[in-house]
Amino acid sequence: MKKQRGKFTDIVFLFITAITAFSVIAISLGIFIVLFKESLPAITKLGIGGFIFSNEWNPVQEIFGTAPALIGTLITSFFALLLAVPIAIGIAIFITEIAPSFLKGVIGTAIELLAAIPIIIYGMWGLFTLTPIMMHYIEPFLQSTVGKLPLFGKLFEGNPLGLDLLTTSIILSIMIIPFTASIARDSFNLTPSVLKESAYAIGATKLEVLKDVVLPYSKLGVLGGVGLSLGRALGETMAVAFILFIMSFNILALAQIFLMNAERK
């Protein structure tokens, strides 16, 4: 009797967990269907190519080209990950392997608090605080140094005003650092102590243990954290709305648009 009851509870448990797992797929599919349905009038009028690759946005004439939003999102997310991932992994390594016990809790709490700051605060801070710093100090320095290199010159053309893809990428990188760092820290902590102790016992240094034991064991968790951070970077439109961008591969490109408008007037 007890064995049959155990089988029944196992079947119920399996059924419930399967429903919860497949609900994620169903919700994602439902979101895709709704978004596609709502964008169908624009796709029908412009065609798939015109909808994705057009940079003209004119609601009065019902022209909705999404290329600036799509390309700007991809560029800013790429640069945000490029800046955030090494810093986040460094933070996780310091917390788990190097920092003394009294610092681990302090730094961990600070990381969690950074993740709790509302998106709009990041955007306003970027507009009113970071933008002037980028305009007066960081971007002129980058133009006079990295911008002189043959392969990087195109990225830093124009008059630096701080309202550009570079500033937006920095804001997004600050926003996603806590997520990557937290997940990487938890992944590093899941590494069995016996593996690390065995490596130390045969004479491995701390760097070798990190490189050959901790990182290989937790690489899937770290990649999962990077994927989660990418999703956050792709979706944080409110912060990006404060630091405007356009479709361009020049990370200081918005300054050129302002100058062109001024010349027309």
Q: Kindly report, residue by residue over 186-212, the tens digit of the pLDDT.
A: 899 888 888 888 888 888 888 888 888
- Angle, helices 101-116 vs 165-189, to 10°: value is 140
**Shared domain check, 181 and 105:** yes
The one-letter amino acid code at 220 reads L
Domain span including residue 2: 1-65
**Shared domain check, 247 and 136:** yes
Report how many helices (DSSP H) and strands (DSSP E) the chain contains, helices first. Answer: 12, 2
Among residues 65, 82, 110, the one where a domain terminates is: 65
Contact, 55 vs 47, CB < 8 A? no
Local confidence band at 261 (pLDDT 50, 70, 90 cut-offs): very low
- Give the percent of the chain with pLDDT over 90: 10
**Shared domain check, 259 and 196:** yes
Contact, 191 vs 217, CB < 8 A? yes
**Shared domain check, 197 and 94:** yes
**Shared domain check, 152 and 34:** no
Q: What is the pTM of this model?
A: 0.76
Extract long-range pairs of 134-143: CB within 8 Å, 24+ residues apart.
Answer: 134/160, 134/162, 134/164, 134/166, 134/167, 134/170, 135/160, 135/161, 135/162, 139/164, 139/166, 139/252, 142/166, 143/252
The predicted pLDDT at position 247 comes to 43
> Which one of 42-46, 143-147, 178-182, 232-236 scores highest in mean pLDDT?
178-182
The predicted pLDDT at position 265 comes to 42
**Shared domain check, 99 and 11:** no
Count the helix, strand and coil residues of the chain and give each as a percent rounded to the nearest 5.
Answer: 80, 0, 15
The mean predicted confidence, pLDDT, of the chain is 80
**Shared domain check, 133 and 5:** no
The predicted pLDDT at position 99 comes to 84
Better-predicted residue by pLDDT, 201 or 252 = 201
**Shared domain check, 106 and 224:** yes
pLDDT exceeds cutoff 90 at 87? yes
**Shared domain check, 102 and 48:** no
**Shared domain check, 96 and 221:** yes
Contact, 99 vs 91, CB < 8 A? no
Cα torsion through 180, 81, 235, 167, rounded to 10: 120
Local confidence band at 17 (pLDDT 50, 70, 90 cut-offs): very high
Taking residues 58-65, what's their average pLDDT?
75
The predicted pLDDT at position 86 comes to 92
Among residues 30, 65, 100, the one where a domain terminates is: 65
pLDDT tens per residue, range 148-191: 877 777 777 777 777 777 888 888 888 889 888 989 998 998 88
The predicted pLDDT at position 260 comes to 39
The predicted pLDDT at position 255 comes to 40
- Range of lowest pLDDT (18-22, 48-52, 90-94, 259-263): 259-263
Taking residues 63-70, what's their average pLDDT?
76
**Shared domain check, 115 and 57:** no
Among residues 15, 50, 65, the one where a domain terminates is: 65
The predicted pLDDT at position 1 comes to 57
CA 42 to chain centre: 28
Q: Which residue is associated with the tokens 């999962």?
A: 224
